Amino acid sequence: MSMNELSGEYIDVPDALNRVGGNMDLLKRLLKRFIDGNQIDEMDRVLREGNMEEAARQAHTVKGVSANLSLVKLRTVTTELELILKDNLDYSAKLDELKQAYDETVKIIQEITS
């Protein structure tokens, strides 16, 4: 499967490669670092503790990292989650969507980096 075929709903690989000057090794290292850091579990923990403000900050961070790595679906979902958290609305469905998007993104990253 080519890098272009890996692009889609979850990761825009050509855009990500463009952002790192075409350096595939660097992109792979950055993607691995992203999944090693699993900020989604931490956000879930903070939300269970009831700290919406900290969770919104974490969503903002994940949104930025996702944008920089061209993780399209995660960027979209964390953008929506951040707004929900800032407005103190019910976030449970969006958090579930985020976890699902993260799991799918990790699978694709593992394909790219293996």
Q: Please give the model's pTM, rounded to 2 decimal places.
A: 0.88
How far is the C-alpha of 89 from the C-alpha of 92, rounded, in Å?
9
Residue 7, pLDDT score: 60
Q: Determine what percent of the chain is predicted with pLDDT higher than 70.
A: 94
Which domains, ranges and CATH numbers included, belong to the chain?
A: 3-113 (1.20.120.160)
Flag whether pLDDT at 1 surpasses 50.
no
Half-sphere exposure of 80 (CA within 13 A, CB side): 15
When the pLDDT of each residue in the chain is averaged and rounded to a whole number, the result is: 91
Look at residues 58, 78, 57, 56 and name the one whose alpha carbon lies nearest to residue 66. Answer: 78
pLDDT one-digit tens code per residue, 9-57:
899 999 999 999 999 999 999 999 999 988 899 999 999 999 999 999 9
How far is the C-alpha of 69 from the C-alpha of 108, rounded, in Å?
13
